């Protein structure tokens, strides 16, 4: 009996020790962070009446330090998640989904890229990154109770750079390709015209939720304005929370960095907005920037054939850390690489991936240089650095220039291969090593129509009729998309009907909630109207509402809520370049939901579609693929209402008057402090946002100080 008691006690001790070990081991084995060299930063943060931080510094590095501290005050939780990604510790913070991000970080060898390329960055860029890291460290030191993961701090500039390396390719859809390969599924169809033969059924890789990646952008030249004003509207469509939610700020450095715009957690500078002289905004583009190669492996899968010779397949054992309740479990994985790039092994074989911007850090310099550009020539010189792998840039300036650059790092591909399909991995001549120069990028400057727009459509249609770029001038190997969106068709129709444009007209275009009766929208509605009732009396009632619907998501007409639910799945499939969904399934699902929660097929749109943040609960308008975008939402299981989480996000209206003086207004869905429920700026912009209103941007100190609510030095 004593033996059994001793065994039971020993087993209990073992269980306790194991539990303690699983709870505490991860920080102990994590690589220790390194702080930047100590220095004093001279920075002042001034908060305006909406809590937007205005950061004043003697040097650019001082400002970057202040950006980090101010953003941490408002959303330190999300910034830590981004920081954890750079150390492959996201799984230890957020669990299984985070571990998938860590696997990608290992697979893409982001730390290897930083080790190889960081010291090639200009000294002022490295100083910015170190200063930003120092600002985060300072906040963490002052608020240890907010630190979510032991050993995450201190950070240094290399950690900030690693975040850019990891996230950049995911903006043009690398995650969809990785996901398909890991799961052994068909790869997505890539954009651009067919090159040869029968192509694999693929869709452009544009993220885990493809319809999340969007945006609208508009620029109007003085000649098209009623008042000789140059106008730019930034209208990005991003998630309202998380690592790619916009954060508004204004920065001023005595070294000439003056900028008002927005950034993402983990960045020391704005990604879009304006300075005194010029501004730009971005929309997602969808060129073919990813190539997949099938490798021929030897029997034990340790080598691959290239040009008739066997080469060793690089492999590395990594340990993913997966948080499960109070414990963090170590999960072993192996990552592979070939000369092509990362390699994934599945039941169908071994596949290597090569993508735009692989093993590059130049985006860190490019974004900052365009922040400080003073005219179109300087801006183009900065763009020619070609570090940002993909995204359209829509530009305007104080001199009245407007432009659109279909920016992408187009691989310098060899003609003759089917670059839209899976490529043979045994030919080194198909492994491109460079990209096309800046002068090959599609660029539209000062079109005769006097306006430029993009709504994630083909760059060949960016202005009025007759202003189209010549498709024949651009190689099919570039994989430039031919797609049009409802938003693009609607925008051009409205611009062409408007004549001369003033501020109010441009705002009406931006907030338009209509669908153009062409392309997928009309075909989809016709398919819904053709569904046979088959004894379901509700179907004719729903079809009657759709016939009466005025194709507007303004909440004023009949059938808006029903149409809202039905247009989203069609938009999603159209954007993926896939066949439309089953109309009966979608129609019945929408009917079931509306009857269950609202006891009518025709509730008011604003009753169903909501902006929700804490205790704030407001009606919304707009829909999927309307210029007023309410693209994605979460369904509340208790009341059935849709809480929008993605669509119109940071909006900025910028103007340069006839004398070149700049002014701007902006708005966000919630406020400056979206993860701080106790802050007065948790949701203080929400009412303005749903009412299509904006607030002033105080771009100069003189304009700001009457509205300064708090001034301090961190």
Residues with a catalytic annotation lie at 215
C-alpha span between 526 and 674 (Å, rounded): 41
The vertex-81 CA angle with 78 and 84, nearest 5°, equals 155
651, β-bridge pairs: 235, 667
Say if residue 49 carries a ligand binding annotation. no
**Cβ pair 165, 361 in contact under 8 A:** yes
Could you tell me the two tokens for 71?
Answer: 């953003």
238, β-bridge pairs: 647
Could you tell me the two tokens for 121?
Answer: 């960055």
| Strand intervals (E) in 356-509 | 390-397, 402-408, 423-424, 443-445, 451-454
C-alpha span between 611 and 634 (Å, rounded): 11
Nearest by Cα to 118 from 355, 341, 362: 362
Q: How many residues does the chain have?
A: 714
Residue with tokens 């045994």: 426
C-alpha span between 439 and 94 (Å, rounded): 43
Nearest by Cα to 542 from 589, 604, 581: 589
Say if residue 307 carries a ligand binding annotation. no
φ, ψ for residue 565, nearest 5 deg: -70, -30
**Cβ pair 419, 288 in contact under 8 A:** yes
351, β-bridge pairs: 294, 344
Strands 214-220 and 451-454: antiparallel
Measured CA to CA in angstroms, residue 497 lies from 122, 173, 500, 505, 517 at distances of 48, 35, 9, 11, 16
Provide the b/e sequence for 11-46 (b: ≥16 CB within 10 Å). eeeeeeeeeeebeeebeeebeebeebeeeebebbbb
Query: Which 8-state DSSP code applies to residue 372?
Result: T
Could you tell me the two tokens for 100?
Answer: 């998938």
3-state secondary structure 680-696: CCCCCCHHHHHCCCCEE
C-alpha span between 241 and 273 (Å, rounded): 20
Residue with tokens 């960055």: 121
C-alpha span between 407 and 388 (Å, rounded): 8
C-alpha span between 481 and 191 (Å, rounded): 5
Which parts of 2-59 fold into alpha helices (H)?
2-29
Query: Which 8-state DSSP code applies to residue 94?
Result: H
- What 686-693 contacts at long range (C-beta under 8 Å, 24+ apart), as own/partner pairs, is 686/611, 686/613, 686/616, 686/618, 687/616, 687/618, 689/611, 689/648, 690/611, 690/618, 690/619, 690/620, 690/621, 692/507, 692/511, 692/628, 693/667
**Cβ pair 395, 402 in contact under 8 A:** yes
C-alpha span between 683 and 137 (Å, rounded): 27
Say if residue 227 carries a ligand binding annotation. no
**Cβ pair 236, 649 in contact under 8 A:** yes
C-alpha span between 191 and 478 (Å, rounded): 9
Radius of gyration, alpha carbons of the chain:
26
Query: Which 8-state DSSP code applies to residue 437?
Result: -
Residue numbers belonging to the annotated binding site for Ca(2+): 288, 291, 467
Residue numbers belonging to the annotated binding site: 288, 291, 467
């Amino acid at each position: 009996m004593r033996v059994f008691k001793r065994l039971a006690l020993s087993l209990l001790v073992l269980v306790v020790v194991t539990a303690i070990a699983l709870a505490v081991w991860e920080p102990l084995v994590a690589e220790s962070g390194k702080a930047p060299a100590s220095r004093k930063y001279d920075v002042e943060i001034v908060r305006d009446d909406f809590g937007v931080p205005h950061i004043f510094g003697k040097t650019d590095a001082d400002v970057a330090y202040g950006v980090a501290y101010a953003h941490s005050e408002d959303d330190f939780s999300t910034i830590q998640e981004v920081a954890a990604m750079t150390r492959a510790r996201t799984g230890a913070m957020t669990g299984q989904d985070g571990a998938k991000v860590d696997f990608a970080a290992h697979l893409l060898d982001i730390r290897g890229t930083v080790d190889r390329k960081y010291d090639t960055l200009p000294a002022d860029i490295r100083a910015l990154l170190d200063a930003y890291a120092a600002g985060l460290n300072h906040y963490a030191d002052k608020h240890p109770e907010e630190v979510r993961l032991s050993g995450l701090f201190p950070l240094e500039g290399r950690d900030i750079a690693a975040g850019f390396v990891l996230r950049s390719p995911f903006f043009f859809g690398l995650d969809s390709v990785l996901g398909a390969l890991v799961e052994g599924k068909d790869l997505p169809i890539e954009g651009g015209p067919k090159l040869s033969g029968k192509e694999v059924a693929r869709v452009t890789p544009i993220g885990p939720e493809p319809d999340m990646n969007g945006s609208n952008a508009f620029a109007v030249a003085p000649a098209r304005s009623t008042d000789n004003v140059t106008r730019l509207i930034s209208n990005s469509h991003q998630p309202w929370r998380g690592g790619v939610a916009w954060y508004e700020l204004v920065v001023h450095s005595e070294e000439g960095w003056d900028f008002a715009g927005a950034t993402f957690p983990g960045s020391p500078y704005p990604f879009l907005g304006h300075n005194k002289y010029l501004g730009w905004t971005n929309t997602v583009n969808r060129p073919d920037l990813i190539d997949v190669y099938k490798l021929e492996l030897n029997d034990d899968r340790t080598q691959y054939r290239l040009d008739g010779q066997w080469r060793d397949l690089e492999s590395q054992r990594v340990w993913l850390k997966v948080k499960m309740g109070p414990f963090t479990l170590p999960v072993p994985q192996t990552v592979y690489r070939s000369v092509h790039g990362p390699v994934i092994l599945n039941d169908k074989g071994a596949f290597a991936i090569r993508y735009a911007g692989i093993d590059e850090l130049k985006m860190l310099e490019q974004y900052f240089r365009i922040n400080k550009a003073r005219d179109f020539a300087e801006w183009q010189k900065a763009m020619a650095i070609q570090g940002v792998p993909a995204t359209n840039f829509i530009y305007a300036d104080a001199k009245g220039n407007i432009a659109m650059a279909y920016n992408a790092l187009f691989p310098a591909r060899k003609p003759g291969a089917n670059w839209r399909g899976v490529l043979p991995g045994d030919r080194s001549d198909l492994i491109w090593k460079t990209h096309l120069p800046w002068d090959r990028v599609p660029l539209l400057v000062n079109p005769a129509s006097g306006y430029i727009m993009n709504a994630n459509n083909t760059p060949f249609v960016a202005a009025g009729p007759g202003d189209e770029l010549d498709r024949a001038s651009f190689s099919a190997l570039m994989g430039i998309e031919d797609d049009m969106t409802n938003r693009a068709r609607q925008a051009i129709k409205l611009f062409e009907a408007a004549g001369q444009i003033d501020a109010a007209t441009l705002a009406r275009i931006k907030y338009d909630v209509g669908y153009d009766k062409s392309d997928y929208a009309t075909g989809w509605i016709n398919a819904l109207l053709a569904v046979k009732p088959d004894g379901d009396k509700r179907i004719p009632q729903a079809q009657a509402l759709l016939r009466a619907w005025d194709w507007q998501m303004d909440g004023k007409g009949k059938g808006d809520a029903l149409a809202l639910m039905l247009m989203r799945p069609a938009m999603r499939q159209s954007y993926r370049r896939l066949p439309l969904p089953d109309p009966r399934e979608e129609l019945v699902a929408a009917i079931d939901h509306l009857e269950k929660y609202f006891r009518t097929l025709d509730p008011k749109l604003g009753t169903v579609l909501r902006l929700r943040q804490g205790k704030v609960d407001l009606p919304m308008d707009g829909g999927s693929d309307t210029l007023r975008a309410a693209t994605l939402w979460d369904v509340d299981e208790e009341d059935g209402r849709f809480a929008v989480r993605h669509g119109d996000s940071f909006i900025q209206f910028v103007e340069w008057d006839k004398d070149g003086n700049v002014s701007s207004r902006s708005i966000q869905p919630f406020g400056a402090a979206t993860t701080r429920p106790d802050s007065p700026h948790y949701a203080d912009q929400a009412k303005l946002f749903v009412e299509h209103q904006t607030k002033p941007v105080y771009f100069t100190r003189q304009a700001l100080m009457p509205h300064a609510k708090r001034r301090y030095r961190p």
